[in-house]
Copies of this chain bind each other. A is one copy, B any other.
């Protein structure tokens, strides 16, 4: 057979059954856990009005640049969604009748025309839970617990780093970073682990942050490393933001402690998350063995996005978490964890000149709940048995003309070579 050369667009790929079976397990584990946590499903369109997606309350300039745009036959200016957060905020803003707190999940494709690297695609699947209408840290605690549940079930050891934007902003103000430059500095500090303190200094210089502020950042960065919450208490009296951030963090840690998951979480005073929208708690999930260095899930509190979309000053307490199906799949592929089982039929039915009867037997076994394959290859029996054996199939059912006449089928156990004839009323 001739082979067609790769037809896939850069940054997209096909998942063949071997991989897609693993992705199905991940998707179902996520969804079943979402349901157990009483998250409600919604589904929003991939096609959106361009002006909705480049709203300033959306993902920031970097993402808007990566947006795929198109127009339809009616000359509408459209774009493909690049996250599930704006669609969620839109749904909340369009439906004031929703029962609050509203906790929804959505699993769906998003698109970003950005750099491609291993595990990073232009078309990928996000799995998001967002809760709106909860101002306490219960929301964050529940989402963090849910994330740990999911990765535990998938057999992946993870650590969840957390921080608080108010604490971070307050501390930066305290060390004299001007408030107009806070976000710029925060977005750069987020890269500390990746690019080191020299990289951070360089980027801050490029952003025209004053030399004094950069020196402060450098000095404090060294001082903050490895500090726990108590270290920051000394600054609380000096800055309201620090105080509020600490209050929220200690509320959160009290919940995590109660849930006996504090040991799976790690406070990181530099964690910033690359998006402007966050206003409180933020968190990122990392594989404990660091076999993948980027995070495999993340989220945080963003209390202004929905109000912003509405063009109002109203605050909507909102907390979200996002899981990347593709990166979780990458983490699982090749690993043996209890939940990753190869999907094989319980029985392969091989007809020998008895197609009609093979279909009838298959139907009867499926009604009993079995996963059944009918061998329709019309190959010789020895060939069919060899193929089944190679695939690790344990049980086959043989039906020939003689068996049909005698109203019986042959159950054959391949590894033991045992055969048993059982009556079957065709």
Contacts and interface: CB of A to CB of B under 8 A. Distances in A.
Given A45-B12, A426-B258, A113 B40 contact: no
Contact of A23 (B4, B16, B43, B369): B43
A4 B8 CA distance: 38
Interface residues of A, number: 103
Query: Quick one: copies of this chain in the complex?
Result: 2
A209 to B, nearest CB: 30
Contacts of A94: 3-7, 14
B45 A123 contact: yes
Contact of A69 (B23, B35, B70, B76): B70
Q: Which of A78, A314, A356, A378 neighbours the largest number of chain B CB atoms within 10 Å of its CB?
A: A356
A358 B255 CA distance: 10
B47 A9 contact: yes
Contacts of A138: 355, 358-359, 374, 376
Contact of A47 (B72, B123, B312, B374): B123
A73 B259 CA distance: 47
Interface stretch (A95-103, A194-202, A223-231, A288-296): A95-103
Interface of A: 1-10, 12-17, 20-21, 23-24, 35-38, 40-49, 52, 68-70, 72-74, 76, 78, 87, 90-91, 93-96, 98-101, 104, 109, 111, 113, 122-123, 131, 133-136, 138-139, 141-142, 145, 149, 254-255, 258-259, 309-312, 314, 343, 345, 355-360, 362-363, 366, 369-374, 376-378, 387, 391, 426
